[in-house]
Structure 1
Amino acid sequence: MGDAEFDRTDVVIVGSGFGALATATAKKLGKAGTPFVLISETTEHLFQPLLYQVATGVISPGEIAPSVRAILAKYPNADVRLGRVVDVDPEANTVVYEAAGKRHTLGYKHLVAATGARQAYFGRDEFADLTFALKTVDDAEKLRRQIIRCFEEAHITTDPELRKNLLSFIVVGAGPTGVELAGQIKELAQRYFAESIGNINAADVTVTLVEGADKVLPPFGGKLSDYSKESLEKAGVDVVLNTMVTDIDEHGATLSTPSTEETRRLTAETIIWSAGIQANDFAGVLAERTGCDTVRGGRLLVDNDFTVGRADNIYAIGDMVTLDNLPAQSPFAMQGGRHVAKMILGKIPAGTPFQYRDKGSMAIINRFRAITRVGKVELTGFIAWVLWLAVHLVYLVGFRNRYIAVMSWCGSFLGHRRPHFYYAQTAEPVPAGNESAAVAEEPAAEDTPDVEREPAPAIA
Structure 2
Amino acid sequence: MELVADTGAITTGAGAVRDETDVVIVGSGFGALAAAKKLAKAGKPFVLISETTEHLFQPLLYQVATGVIAAGEIAPSVRAILAKYPKADVRLGRAVDVRPEAGELVYEADGNLHTIGYRSLIAATGARQAYFGRDEFEDVTYALKTVADAERLRRQIVRCFEEAHTTTDPELRRNLLSFMVVGAGATGVELAGQIKELAGRYFAQAIRGVTADDVTVTLVEGAGDVLPVYGGKLSTYTRASLEKSGIEVVLGTMVTDIDEHGAMVKDAATGTEKRLTAETIIWSAGVQANDFAKVLAGRTDCETDRAGRLLVNGDLTVGNRADIYAVGDMTSLNKLPGQSPVAMQGGRHVARTILGKTAPGTPFAFRDKGSMAIINRFNAVTKVKKIELTGVIAWLLWLAVHLVYLVGFRNRYVAVMSWCGSFLGHRRPHFHYAQAPGRPVAVGAGDGDGRDADTLAPVADEQAA
Deviation at 1:9, TM superposition (A): 0.4
Write out aligned runs for 1:339-418 (5 A): 339-418=349-428
Query: Counterpart of 2:37?
Result: 25
Which string of whole-angstrom CA distances, capped at 9 and with x for unpartnered residues, describes residues 34-89 of structure 1?
11000010010000000000000000000000001000001100010100010000
Q: Map residues 185-196 of structure 1 onto 2, 5 A cutoff.
A: 185-196=195-206
Q: In the TM superposition, what is the alpha-carbon distance from 1:425 to its structure 2 partner?
A: 2.6
Alignment correspondent of 1:8: 20
Indicate the SS of the match to 1:80. strand
* CA deviation map 1:175-215 (0-9, x unaligned): 00000000000001111111111201011100000000000
- For residues 41 and 406 of structure 2, the distance between their equivalents in structure 1, rounded to whole angstroms, comes to 21
CA gap 1:429/1:77 in 2 versus in 1, 3 angstroms: closer
Please tell me the residue identity of whatever aligns with 2:213.
A
SS of aligned partner of 1:135: coil
Indicate the residue corresponding to 1:202 in structure 2: 212
For 1:3 and 1:36, the matched residues in 2 are separated by: 24
Output the CA distance in 2 between the equivalents of 1:224 and 1:51: 23
Q: Structure 1 pair 418/349, CA: closer, same or farther in 2 (3 Å)? A: same
Matching residue's letter, 1:227: Y
Question: For each residue in 1:137-162, what CA deviation from the matched residue of structure 2 results, as whole angstroms up to 9, or x when unmatched?
Answer: 00000000000100000000000010
8 Å contact 2:179–2:281 — kept in the other structure?
yes
Judging changes above 3 Å, is the alpha-carbon distance between structure 1 residues 107 and 367 closer, same or farther for their aligned structure 2 residues?
A: same
Mapped contact 2:93–2:109 kept (Cα < 8 A): yes
For structure 1, the 5+ residue unaligned runs are 438-453
**In structure 2, what is the equivalent of residue 458 of structure 1?**
452
Note the alpha carbon deviations across 1:239-292, whole angstroms, 9 max, x for none.
Answer: 000000000001100000121111000111100000111000000000000000
Q: 2:120 aligns with which of 92, 110, 122?
A: 110
What whole-Å deviation, never above 9, does each CA across 1:357-416 have from its counterpart, x for those lacking one? Answer: 010110101111100011111000000000001000100000010000001001000100
Structure 1 residue 436 displacement after superposition: 4.2
Please name the residue that 1:276 is paired with: 286
Q: C-alpha separation between the residues in 1 aligned to 2:438 and 2:446?
A: 16
What is the alpha-carbon distance in structure 2 between the residues aligned to residue 306 and residue 232 of structure 1?
38
Aligned mates of 2:87, 2:393 — CA distance in 1: 42
Kindly indicate whether residue 160 of structure 2 is the aligned counterpart of residue 150 of structure 1: yes
* 1:71-119 CA distance string (max 9 Å, x none): 0001100010100010000100000000011100000000000000000
Q: What CA distance in whole angstroms lies between the structure 1 residues aligned with 2:443 and 2:334? A: 62
The answer on whether the counterparts of 2:122 and 2:327 sit within 8 Å (CA) in structure 1 is yes
**Higher alpha-carbon deviation: 297-306 or 30-39:** 30-39
1:458 partner amino acid: D
Partner residue, 1:441: none
TM-score by length of structure 1 reads 0.94
Partner of 1:82: 92
Q: Which residue pairs with 1:334 in the alignment?
A: 344
AA of the residue aligned to 1:57: G
In the alignment, which residue of structure 2 is the partner of 1:419?
429
Task: Mark the runs of 5 or more structure 2 residues left unpaired by the alignment.
Answer: 1-13, 455-465
| Correspondence 1:265 to 2:265 | no
Report the Cα distance in structure 2 between the residues aligned to 1:24 and 1:280, rounded to whole angstroms: 20
| Distance 1:172-1:429 versus aligned 2 partners, 3 A rule | closer
| Counterpart amino acid of residue 8 in structure 1 | E
Q: Distance in 2 between matches of 1:213 and 1:279?
A: 22
- Return the letter of the residue paired with 2:450: A
Paired-residue identity, %: 73
Cα distance in 1 for partners of 2:450, 2:86 equals 55
Q: CA offset at residue 429 of structure 1?
A: 4.9
Deviations 1:412-454 (A, max 9, x none): 00100000012223333544733748xxxxxxxxxxxxxxxx9
Partner SS, residue 30 of structure 1: helix
Counterpart of 2:154 in 1: which secondary structure?
helix
Aligned to 1:297: 307
**What is the root-mean-square deviation of aligned Cα atoms in Å?**
1.4
**Larger deviation, residues 313-322 vs 417-426:** 417-426
Q: Which has the larger radius of gyration?
A: 1
Distance 1:124 1:79 in 2: 39
Shift of 1:3: 8.9
Partner of 2:461: none
Count residues with an aligned counterpart.
441
Amino acid at match of 2:211: N
SS of the residue 1:25 aligns to: helix
Q: What residue in structure 2 maps to residue 216 of structure 1?
A: 226
CA gap of 1:353–1:432, structure 2 versus 1, over 3 A, is closer
In the alignment, which residue of structure 2 is the partner of 1:171?
A: 181
Deviation at 1:348, TM superposition (A): 1.2
Partner residue in 2 for 1:286: 296
C-alpha contact 1:3 1:105 (8 A) present in aligned 2 = no
Q: SS state of the match for residue 111, structure 1?
A: strand
Question: Does the 8 A contact of 2:186 with 2:227 survive in 1?
Answer: yes
**Using a 3 Å threshold, how does the CA distance of structure 1 residues 432 and 193 change in structure 2: closer, same or farther?**
closer
Q: Give the C-alpha shift of residue 33 in structure 1.
A: 1.6
Does residue 1:70 correspond to 2:64, yes or no? no
